[in-house]
Structure 1
C-alpha cells in the first residue's frame, strides 16, 4: 500500500485508465500506440489491462504518448493524475459524489412537501417531480 491508502492494484488500474485516456485523446488504436511507444502489442496491452511492466517500458510509454517524464511511476507511487504540458489533467478531476442517503432524503422531502402543500397533486405528478429533481441532482454531481 502507498501512503494514500491505495493498493498497488488500484494504482495499476488508475494508470491503465490514464494511459487509455491519453491514447484515445491522441486518436490512436492500441496497436498504433504500441508502435509509437516502441513496444510489442502484447506488452502495451498489459498496461491498459492494469498489469505491471518493467520501468523501462513505462519510460517508452511516456515518450510514445507524449506524457511528462516519470509520470507513470508517479501514478504507481500514489499520484492521482498526470498534468500534460498543455495543462490538461488526466484523468480530469471528478466531482464529489452525493453524500450517502442525501438523494433518498431529498426524495422524501419532496413527497412530504407535496402532500402538505399540493394536496391536489396526483401520485404520478409527485413522482414526476421527484424524478425530475433527483435526475438534476444526479446530473450535477
Structure 2
C-alpha cells in the first residue's frame, strides 16, 4: 500500500519547477501534452490521473514517477538529456557512487531471482550488456 499523497506539497514543487523552466502554465502544459486545466489542477493541489503526472514529470525534466514520489514525501529524480546515435534519451541523474560492479551485482541478483535456470555465463553476458548500455547513455562512467 502506498503512502497517502500530499497534493499541496506536489503543487508547490511543480509550480516552483515550472517557474524555473516556463513562462506560463499554458507553455508548460503544451510541452507536457496536457491541457492547461490539468496543469492548473496539479498546481492547485487537486488530483489528476497518474498518466498526467507522468507527462508533467517529463516536461519538468524529472524521471517519470517523480510527481508521485513528491506527493508521497520524496524528492523528484532529475534527468538529463543525452544524445546518442539512437537519438536523445532522458537519463536519470543517479548518484555517481553507482559503479559498474554495483550494476552487475544488481542484475545478477535480479536475473537469478527471476530466471534461476540461466547459466553463470549467460547472467554475466546480460550484466555486461546492461553496463555497456548504461555507459552508452551516459549513466555510468566510461571504462578505464
> What TM-score does the superposition give when structure 2 sets the normalisation length?
0.50
Q: Hey, what does 2:60 align to over in structure 1?
A: 65
- Runs (4+) of structure 1 exceeding 6 A deviation are none
**Shift in Å, 1:74:** 1.0
Which structure shows the bigger proportion of residues in helix conformation? 1
Which structure shows the bigger proportion of residues in strand conformation? 2
- 8 Å contact 2:61–2:79 — kept in the other structure? no
Structure 2: stretches of 5+ with no match in the other structure: 81-92, 94-144
Q: Hey, what does 1:126 align to over in structure 2?
A: none
Larger of the two Rg values belongs to structure: 1
Q: What CA distance in whole angstroms lies between the structure 2 residues aligned with 1:76 and 1:14?
A: 6
1:20 to 4, 15, 21: 15
Q: Hey, what does 1:38 align to over in structure 2?
A: 33
Please show how residues 1-141 of structure 1 align to structure 2 within 5 Å.
8=5, 11-79=6-74, 81-85=75-79
- How big is the alpha-carbon RMSD for the aligned residues of Structure 1 and Structure 2? 2.0
Structure with greater contact order relative to length (CA < 8 Å, sep ≥ 6): 1
Structure 1: stretches of 5+ with no match in the other structure: 88-141
Number of residue pairs aligned between Structure 1 and Structure 2: 80
